[in-house]
Every structure is written in structure tokens, then in C-alpha cells.
Amino acid sequence: MVRYLGLLVLLCLIACGGGSGGNSTTPNTAYFGIVNIGYDTPGLETRVDGTLAATTAKGNFTKFFVPSGSKNINVRVSGTTTDIVNVTRTLGTDKTPFWVLTNPGVFLIDPFRLPTSNEAAVFFVNSGTEAVDAHLVLSTATTVAGAVQKWSNVVAGGMGEVILDKGTYKLFLTAPGSTTITGTSINLNAASGKTYGVFVKPASGPVETYAIPI
């Protein structure tokens, strides 16, 4: 099934106006996200400038509101002392970076801009062991012909992104240069717009599909 990753924690490190879906009435507020795909109980701890902010369970997405500017972000498995992510980054209000942690892969989703209410930002992450072609198609498609986006020869650990009209899409995988489908996702519903859609090719098993409202 599609995993609709809700905003489980709306963490305000400054006084934030209420409102679901990531809205804030406070000027100069930036935000970032953590997506836990691969780490089971007890989950992932995120610290901002050394302060424990939240724990994200497997299959969930946590969104953090912070003042704009330079922030140190570190993520580790709860109860451990080894950082999986440890980065200092300048956060602004014009886009929403987030980290996808697949165990062992770490992927930074850093769109060049936010999608509008009529658009979706769709990402493909290859957390497998072999290169693939990834074909983003409409949900009604049965072949790779007419793909709305093709990411060619995406190596293990690679990724691709596109911003396109809102709608319902799915992903076909093929060997590089081939049109024979070797993997198929379920549908990604981005018909409401302002969505991050993430397709993940794991090391084994079917393509995983995540829809993240922003």
C-alpha cells in the first residue's frame, strides 16, 4: 500500500502559529524532515543544535520547524551514540530538505524549489545493489512508453527528482536500456498537489511508495 506519512511531530523550536500541514505564522521559519524507512524499534532520534527534538518510528515522517539560519542536525538510532546523519546546514524558507534513511543508505532529498498547489515533487531512490532505469508513468500505463519522466542508469545509491503536475503516478523499473519491466510500484496519489512522492528500490522486495504532505 501507499504509505501516507503524516506530520507526526510538528516541533516548534520557536513560537509557531498553529495549523496542520506545516503552516506557521512566525516569520523566517524554516523546516526540514526525517523519513525513517529502514530502522525498527526503538526508532531514530533527531537532535537540533544538540537538543533532542523527536524520535521517528519506522515508516514515519517527522517535520521540524526551526528558525532560519545555520543548524546542526544529527540523527542516530535511539539509545546509541553513533550518528547516522551529522550535518550543519543553513535552512531557509524557500524549500524543505529531508533525509530518507533506508538502512544502510542515507539520501538527502533537497528539491530546487517547493512544488505549488498544482504540482508534486517526485523522487526515486535506488537503495538496491544494481543500476536500473526508472520510468515514472501515469497510473493507467502498462508499458514504459510515454513515461512522463525517465531516470536512466541510476546506480546503487543514486537518485533522481522531478517537479510535475499533480496527479496519480506509478513507477516501472527496467534494466538499463531495456523496456522489459522488472519492478512495479503501486500508485502514488499526488492529485491534491503540494506533495513529496518518494519511490524507493530496496535491496530486496518490491518498490516502496511514500506520499508526504508538505
State pLDDT tens for residues 87-100. Answer: 999 998 777 888 99
**Domains recognised in the chain with CATH numbers:** 3-109 (2.60.40), 119-213 (2.60.40.1120)
State pLDDT tens for residues 127-185. Answer: 999 999 999 999 999 999 999 999 999 999 999 999 999 999 999 999 999 999 999 99
Res. 24 pLDDT band, cuts 50 70 90: very low
Is the pLDDT score of 77 beyond 80? yes
DSSP letters for 77-135 = ETT---EEEEEEEEE-SS---EEEE-SS-EEEE--SS---TTEEEEEEEE-SSS-EEEE
Is the pLDDT score of 18 beyond 50? no
Res. 63 pLDDT band, cuts 50 70 90: confident
On average, the pLDDT of the chain sits at 85
Map grid coordinates 537518485 to a residue: 159
Q: 10 Å Cβ neighbour count for 195?
A: 21
Share of the chain above pLDDT 70, in %: 87
Asked if 1 contacts 208 with a C-beta cutoff of 8 angstroms, the reply is no
Is the pLDDT score of 9 beyond 80? no
More confident residue, 100 or 59: 100
Is the pLDDT score of 14 beyond 90? no
